[in-house]
Structure 1
Amino acid sequence: MKRYITLLFFGIMNILLVSSCSSDDKGSDEPVKPEVVEPVAIEKTNSTKIYVHYMPWFETNESSADKKWGYHWTMANKNPNNIGANNQREIAAYYYPMIGPYHSGDKSVIENHLLLMKYSGIDGVLIDWYGTYDVNDYRMVKENTEQLIAMLDKVGLEYAIVYEDRVTTNVVNVGKAISVTSAAKTDLAYLEKNCFSDANYIKVNGKPLLLNFGPIVLQTPAEWTNVFNTLTTKPTFLTLWGESSDAGVNASGEYAWVYKDNSFLTNFYTNTKPNLSVAMGSAYPGFKDFYAEGGGGAAIGWTIDHKNGATLDETLQMAKNANVNYLQLITWNDFGEGTMIEPTVEFGYTFIEKIKTFAGVKNTESVFLEISKMYNLRVQKKGNADTQKKLDQAFNYFVSMQPAKAKQLINEIK
Structure 2
Amino acid sequence: MKRYITLLFFGVMNILVAAGCSSDDKGSDKPTEPETIQPVAIEKANSTKIYVHYMPWFETNESSADKKWGYHWTMANKNPNTIGANNRREIASYYYPLIGPYHSGDKNVIENHLLLMKYSGIDGVLIDWYGTYDVNDYRMVKENTEQLIAMLDKVGLEYAIVYEDRVTTNVVNAGKAISVTSAAKTDLAYMEKNYFDDANYIKVNGKPLLLNFGPIVLQTPAEWTNVFGTLTTKPTFLTLWDQSVEAGANASGEYAWVYKNSTYLTNFYTSTKPKLSVAMGGAYPGFKDFYAEGGGGSAIGWTIEHNNGATLDETLALAKNANLNYLQLITWNDFGEGTMFEPTVEFGYTYIEKVKTFAGVKNTESFFADISKLYNLRVEKKGNADAQKKLDQAFNYFVSMQPAKAKQLISEIK
- Range of TM-score over shorter length: over 0.9
1:268-310 C-alpha deviation (Å, 9 max, x unpaired) = 0010000000000000000000000000000000000100111
Corresponding residue number in structure 1 for 2:100: 100
SS, match of residue 357 in structure 1: helix
SS, match of residue 335 in structure 1: coil
What is the one-letter code of the residue matched to 2:286?
A: G
What is the one-letter code of the residue matched to 1:402?
A: Q
Provide the C-alpha distance between the structure 2 equivalents of 1:254 and 1:9, rounded to a whole number of angstroms: 74
Residue 164 and residue 15 in structure 1: after superposition, are their counterparts in 2 closer, same or farther (change >3 A)? same
Provide the C-alpha distance between the structure 2 equivalents of 1:38 and 1:130, rounded to a whole number of angstroms: 31
Corresponding residue number in structure 2 for 1:336: 336
- For residues 118-267 of structure 1, the aligned pairs below 5 Å read 118-267=118-267
Q: Is 1:54 equivalent to 2:54 in the alignment? A: yes
SS, match of residue 344 in structure 1: coil
SS, match of residue 23 in structure 1: coil
SS, match of residue 336 in structure 2: helix
1:31-81 C-alpha deviation (Å, 9 max, x unpaired) = 000000100000000000000000000000000000000000000000000
Corresponding residue number in structure 2 for 1:23: 22
What is the one-letter code of the residue matched to 2:343?
A: P
SS, match of residue 195 in structure 1: helix
Provide the C-alpha distance between the structure 2 equivalents of 1:202 and 1:179, rounded to a whole number of angstroms: 29
1:372-398 C-alpha deviation (Å, 9 max, x unpaired) = 011000001100000000000000000
SS, match of residue 159 in structure 2: strand
Corresponding residue number in structure 2 for 1:69: 69
CA-CA distance at 1:23 after TM superposition: 2.9
SS, match of residue 209 in structure 2: strand
- For residues 26-37 of structure 1, the aligned pairs below 5 Å read 27-37=27-37
SS, match of residue 41 in structure 1: coil
Provide the C-alpha distance between the structure 2 equivalents of 1:34 and 1:191, rounded to a whole number of angstroms: 33
CA-CA distance at 1:11 after TM superposition: 8.3
- For residues 251-400 of structure 1, the aligned pairs below 5 Å read 251-400=251-400
SS, match of residue 159 in structure 1: strand
SS, match of residue 337 in structure 1: coil
1:223-276 C-alpha deviation (Å, 9 max, x unpaired) = 000010100000000000010000000000000000000000011001000000
Provide the C-alpha distance between the structure 1 equivalents of 2:202 and 2:277, rounded to a whole number of angstroms: 17
1:63-105 C-alpha deviation (Å, 9 max, x unpaired) = 0000000000000000000000000000000000000000000
TM-score by length of 2: 0.96
1:322-368 C-alpha deviation (Å, 9 max, x unpaired) = 00100000000000000001000000000000000000000111100
SS, match of residue 147 in structure 1: helix
CA-CA distance at 1:209 after TM superposition: 0.1
What is the one-letter code of the residue matched to 1:349?
A: Y
Provide the C-alpha distance between the structure 1 equivalents of 2:191 and 2:26, rounded to a whole number of angstroms: 45
Corresponding residue number in structure 2 for 1:3: none
CA-CA distance at 1:13 after TM superposition: 10
SS, match of residue 22 in structure 2: helix
Q: CA RMSD in A?
A: 1.7
What is the one-letter code of the residue matched to 1:322?
A: A
CA-CA distance at 1:193 after TM superposition: 0.4
SS, match of residue 237 in structure 2: strand
What is the one-letter code of the residue matched to 2:268?
A: F
Provide the C-alpha distance between the structure 2 equivalents of 1:315 and 1:178, rounded to a whole number of angstroms: 43
SS, match of residue 294 in structure 1: coil
Provide the C-alpha distance between the structure 1 equivalents of 2:359 and 2:45, rounded to a whole number of angstroms: 7
1:104-146 C-alpha deviation (Å, 9 max, x unpaired) = 0000000000000000000000000000000000000000000
Q: Is 1:42 equivalent to 2:75 in the alignment? A: no
CA-CA distance at 1:9 after TM superposition: 10
CA-CA distance at 1:27 after TM superposition: 3.9
SS, match of residue 394 in structure 1: helix
TM-score by length of 1: 0.96
Provide the C-alpha distance between the structure 2 equivalents of 1:92 and 1:154, rounded to a whole number of angstroms: 32
Percent identity between the two aligned chains: 85
CA-CA distance at 1:28 after TM superposition: 2.3
SS, match of residue 254 in structure 2: strand
- Structure 2 residue ranges without an equivalent (≥5): none
Residue 111 and residue 26 in structure 1: after superposition, are their counterparts in 2 closer, same or farther (change >3 A)? farther
Corresponding residue number in structure 2 for 1:110: 110
What is the one-letter code of the residue matched to 2:388?
A: Q
- Structure 1 residue ranges without an equivalent (≥5): 1-5
